[in-house]
Structure 1
Amino acid sequence: MTIRKSTIEWNFIKGGLSMYKQSVVLGVVPVKRSFLSMEEALRQKEKFMKVIRSIKTEAVEIIDVDDMCENGIMWELKAVPSVIGKLKEKRIDALFIPFCDFGEEQVVAEIARAFDIPVLIWGARDEKPNTLESRGRDTQCGMFAATKVLSRYGVKYSYIFNCETEGREFKTGYENFIRVAAVVKAMKNLRVAKIGERPGPFMSVMTNDANLMNRFGITVVPISPFKISETAMRIMKEETEEFQAYYKELTARMDCSAMKEEEVKKAAAVKLAVKKHLEENNCSVGAFECWSAFPGLMGVCPCVALGELADEGLPLACETDVNGAITMAILRACDLYENAEFLADLTIRHPENDNGELLWHCGPFPYSLKAESSEAGLINAQEQFELKQGDLTICRFDELDGKYSLFAGEAKTTTGPKTSGTYVWMEVDNWKRWEEKLIFGPYIHHVGGVYGKYLPVLKEAARYLRIDFDDAHQEGGSPCAL
């Protein structure tokens, strides 16, 4: 059955280009203690709601309970069913329960246990202790009590340290939670296009599609490379307005002089054909049988198509690496769909920097990540340029014997010798530790990369996804190298 394009979420960016994105629907349920001051609770609520309504507004839809209870603050147990009903009707992806004071642990627990989604607990730091004349909020005290009940109910939850509302700690913690929720949402019902089979020699990219379905609800959708080729040839023949515009734009920013005009047109048509089939199959990521299939079918490699689609929020992994595609879906979500991600080979160590490593592939990286000083070219439809400098988060989702792991670490780019294809040199804190974990862990030579620092987000997301987190910056977890 063909699924209509409308089932995929799209936003539009400059030039009318469609961009795949997902937003997080966040239920916010402030809580208070029944006999404590409503006036003070409302003061706290207004402070933190103002802050969260200003953070990543394009990525978050906030669902409050202002219409369900007095001042939008929960404390009555009898109101719990109606609040749960509203949040379920709105299909929230995550739940934030801010404490305006001590709170009501039964209310907190009953609402949180009704959902299997990420839950965030936080309360503002009290300004002063109780006195004989007045009762304070006792916010921290109530959080300790409520989280014990959540644990009894088996509810997984995150929390931000008891801190001031206006401080950086709260804003960072809240934003990180939104990123965690985005990753968890991205993994639910993810559909991965599997375009062709793995290259014969590449046993390392083998995956168990049934396990992915049973564990995470991920569906691997087979798409024939022949179908892609057939569609691409039809696009070239029809010379549609979309095709002509894309070909003109592509050749304007990349040096294509090393290729024949017909070959460049084939590469452009492949990109449009792959996107068409992704949309028709409701897939937002894919794994591609590239060099082992398309040169024979089309006469060119499809590498440029992979980089171009990543820039539209639709990343594809080389060499039919399904787990690599899932890795990029994770990185895309933790970055809140703001920048493109890439899949690279770990190839060689830096010739002069013992903590340096080359992230490389033959030509499928997103053009948006290109260094400004690097000239972009196409050779056999494989891109040729260096990526920009900046902070990186590197990760790999992988599996062995049904046990899933997420390897992750933070790095920074560095300079190094020029090479062919698309590439960037990175520097890590301790490459030998990274290498040892990659050698002994259930990983391969492919890793995903995204610009930014997201290690805490990936660690927390792995906990919700119930997979092992393998921190590249921590010792242990593997035998010692000789």
Structure 2
Amino acid sequence: MKKLKLGYAPTRRFVFSEEDAFKYKVMIREKLDSFGMDIDIVDLEGLNEEGLLYNDNIGADKIIERFQREKVDAVFFPHCNFGTEDTVARVAKALGKPTLLWGPRDEAPLEDGMRLRDTQCGLFATGKILRRFNVPFTYVTNSRVNDPVFERGFKNFISAANVVSKFRTLRILQIAPRPASFWTMMVNEGELLERFGIEVYPITLIDIQRTTERIEKQNGSELQEAIIYIRAMLDVSEVTEAAVKRVAALKVAMKKYAIDTGSSAIAIQCWSSLQDAMGIMPCLANALLTDEQIPVTCETDIHGAITSVMVQAAAMNQAPTFFADLTVRHPENPNGELLFHCGNFPVSLSVEDKPKLRHHFLFDDHAPGTHEGEIRGGDMTLARFDGDHGEYSLFLGKARGIQGPYTRGSYVWVEVNDWPLWEEKLVKGPYVHHSVGIHANVIPSLYEACNYIPGLTPDPVDPTEAEIRAWLRGSV
């Protein structure tokens, strides 16, 4: 995975203390390094003696050229004193990347009444000029370098910028058309390209079948590694060796297509033509790829694949997603719901040492290839990118794993704050029965990412928008 690159452009103004501005430039950079985030930082060192943006002595053009050459994904303008708002705005406008605005809180005036920085005042000025330049930006409350609200806001911005970076380069590998009876999986491919720049790369079932059969026949090292992994991680006693080999070959084939086409995620038809053609279910292959940060969605759910990439990016690609049906309500808990699919949840999430590789339990052919078992609970985010009639939104909600009855497939029971509210929002749309889950709180970063994606509206159900904004401000 490509690391996110952050442009670091600390700024000062000539009428305030140069020494204090330089001190804070260094202090802030050291603080960023202490957060331990796996990102690359591109600074202004070498463009002048201070490595600061001020008074156009470093022209905007030089900064723009450096950041564009380095292909930064986002830019941070810490105001080390009042700052230089016009140059900040010109740089931000030219880059067109997610922009973070923040400055360290000022100390008390000196004994003679002089003030060294007036950072807050400069933030007001820069915010206004960014608006004049039509530059969307993220703002973190004026706070001290060591205050938790700064760390919280910075990390959330980086996660949001990672979502935007992955979203703007999205290509979905589509394997076969949607199942005929799943009208809910209809998407406007042209609109996704026109509105968001999202590409869909379609291949046929014949393409994936032939590639799978060729890989199976060649019996190469990548296939052998996949077979060894499956046998080590799962109980395969209910299926034949031939079935294990074919599922592994399908996984290798899907990964090859994703890499060769530059696709970030896959949406596969998964039933029922594939079973007729290949004699297996793709569920475990989907699970293995999702664990490898190539999320796969069932029933050719393009919008679900988009959601998966966004959610995965919000977690800085440090945790796997899982693609689930919202299925039935809990038999006893009025706010409980079953998250389920036939067998595609990542193996790494299983609560069992060796979950089972089984035959499908619903379809008449009972083809092998489902990875079944309960996954771990805990706190998680549920999300869904979807749209109709030219309007798109991102459903966001938090859930917590709970105990529930055994069921077939891969599953977890969860509790939410107010299921009737969720149900009403989901049914009235523009959403469907599919959602993407992850064991992380990525709601604030997904919410912030929408600030940089024109035409996409965040739609949080829990926490509310007001609660998210209060959390980001440090009010709660």
State the TM-score, normalized to the length of structure 2: 0.93
Letter of the 1:61 partner, please give it: D
396-405 vs 247-256, which moves further: 247-256
* 2:224 aligned residue: 244
Distance 1:108 1:241 in 2: 52
**Which amino acid counterpart does residue 254 of structure 1 have in structure 2?**
L
Q: What are the superposed Cα offsets for residues 111-131 of structure 1, whole Å, 9 maximum, x if unpaired? A: 111121110000011121465
* Corresponding residue SS for 1:416: coil
Matched residue type, 2:136:
K
The counterpart of 2:423, out of the listed 403, 410, 435, is 435
1:74 to 32, 53, 62: 53
Of 461, 465, 472, the residue aligned with 1:472 is 461
Could you tell me which residue of structure 1 aligns to residue 151 of structure 2? 171
Alpha carbons 1:31, 1:101 under 8 Å: kept: yes
Partner residue of 1:479?
A: none
1:373 Cα deviation after fit: 6.0
Q: Is the Cα–Cα contact under 8 Å of residues 128 and 136 in structure 1 kept in the other structure?
A: no
SS in structure 2 of the partner of residue 204 of structure 1:
helix
Cα pair 1:315 1:328 within 8 Å, conserved: yes
Q: Does 1:31 align with 2:11?
A: yes
Aligned to 2:42: 63
- Aligned: 1:462 with 2:450: yes
Task: Name the CA distance, whole Å, in 2 between partners of 1:53 and 1:268.
Answer: 41
What do residues 233-291 of structure 1 show as CA deviations (whole Å, max 9, x unaligned)? 11111111221232122112211121122112111111011111111111120100102
In 2 relative to 1, CA 374–233 (structure 1 residues): closer, same or farther, beyond 3 Å? closer
5 Å-filtered alignment, 1:209-228, equals 209-228=189-208
Shift of 1:306: 0.4
Q: Deviations over 1:317-360 (max 9, x none)?
A: 10000000000010110011111101100000111111111100
Q: What is the aligned partner in structure 1 of residue 387 from structure 2? A: 399
2: CA distance, partners of 1:458 / 1:288: 25
Q: CA RMSD in A?
A: 1.5
Give the Cα–Cα distance (whole angstroms) in 2 for the partners of residues 146 and 297 of structure 1: 61
Aligned residue number for residue 348 of structure 1: 328
Identity %: 39
Secondary structure at the aligned position of 1:280 is classed as helix
Matches of 1:97 and 1:227, distance apart in 2: 49
Q: Deviations over 1:7-54 (max 9, x none)?
A: xxxxxxxxxxxxxx2321110100011121111111111111001123
- The residue type paired with residue 62 of structure 2 is S
Residue aligning to 2:91: 111
Q: Which amino acid aligns with 1:403?
A: E
What's the CA shift for 1:89?
1.1
Distance 2:94 2:451 in 1: 19
Amino acid at match of 2:144: E
Deviation larger for 235-244 or 383-392: 235-244
Counterpart amino acid of 1:68?
A: L
Question: What SS does structure 2 have at the residue aligned with 1:453?
Answer: coil
Is 1:32–1:102's contact at 8 Å kept on the other side of the alignment?
A: yes
Residues 253, 376 of structure 1: 8 Å contact kept: no
Aligned partner of 1:148 among 124, 128, 133:
128
Task: Please state how far the C-alpha of 1:372 moved relative to its aligned partner.
Answer: 4.4
- Tell me, what secondary structure is at the counterpart of 2:381? strand
Residue of structure 1 in register with 2:256 after alignment: 276
Counterpart residue identity of residue 407, structure 2: T
Query: How far 1:293 sits from its partner (Å)?
Result: 2.2
Give matches, 1:129-208, under 5 Å. 129=109, 132-208=112-188
Q: Note the C-alpha offset of 1:82.
A: 0.9
Q: CA deviation at 1:377?
A: 3.4
Deviation, structure 1 residue 133? 4.3
- When structure 1 is superposed on structure 2, of 81-90 and 373-382 the one drifting more is 373-382
Q: Offset at 1:159?
A: 1.0
CA distance in 1, matches of 2:155, 2:78: 14
Q: CA deviation at 1:460?
A: 0.8
Amino acid corresponding to residue 423 of structure 2 in structure 1:
E
Instruction: Report the equivalent of 1:316.
Output: 296
In the alignment, residue 76 of structure 1 is paired with which amino acid?
N
SS state at 1:461 partner: helix
In 2, the alpha carbon distance for the partners of 1:331 and 1:408 equals: 10
Give the SS at the match of 1:100: coil
> Do the aligned partners of 1:372 and 1:388 also contact (CA within 8 Å) in 2?
no
Q: In the alignment, which residue of structure 1 is the partner of 2:29?
A: 49
- Matched to 1:86, the amino acid is R
**Counterpart in 2 of 1:336?**
316
C-alpha displacement at 1:144, in angstroms?
Answer: 0.7
Match of 2:469 in 1: none
Task: Work out whether 1:302 is the aligned partner of 2:290.
Answer: no
Question: Any residues of structure 2 matched to 1:257-296 within 5 Å, and which?
Answer: 257-296=237-276
CA contact (8 A) 2:349 2:376 kept: yes
Verify: 1:125 aligned to 2:105, yes or no.
yes
Letter in 1 for 2:217: K
Corresponding letter in the other structure for 2:375: L
> What CA distance in whole angstroms lies between the structure 1 residues aligned with 2:50 and 2:405?
62
How far off its partner does 1:301 sit? 0.8
- One of 405, 413, 418 as aligned partner of 2:401: 413
SS at match of 2:163: helix
Matches of 2:81 and 2:356, distance apart in 1: 57
AA aligned to 2:459 is D
Alignment equivalent of 1:326, drawn from 306, 323, 334: 306
Give the CA deviation at 1:400: 0.4
Assess, with a 3 A threshold, how the Cα gap between structure 1 residues 412 and 373 changes in structure 2: closer, same or farther: farther
For residues 75-114 of structure 1, the aligned pairs below 5 Å read 75-78=54-57, 79-114=59-94
Distance 1:189 1:328 in 2: 14
CA contact (8 A) 1:433 1:475 kept: no
Q: Equivalents in 2 of 1:244, 1:104: separation in Å?
A: 59
Deviation at 1:185?
Answer: 0.5
Aligned equivalent of 1:446, options 401, 424, 434: 434
Size of the aligned set, in residue pairs, is 455
Task: Give 1:475 deviation, angstroms.
Answer: 7.6
Q: Indicate yes or no: 2:214 matched with 1:234.
A: yes
Q: Is the 8 A contact 1:410 1:454 kept in 2?
A: no
1:361, 1:422 within 8 Å by CA — same for their partners in 2?
A: yes
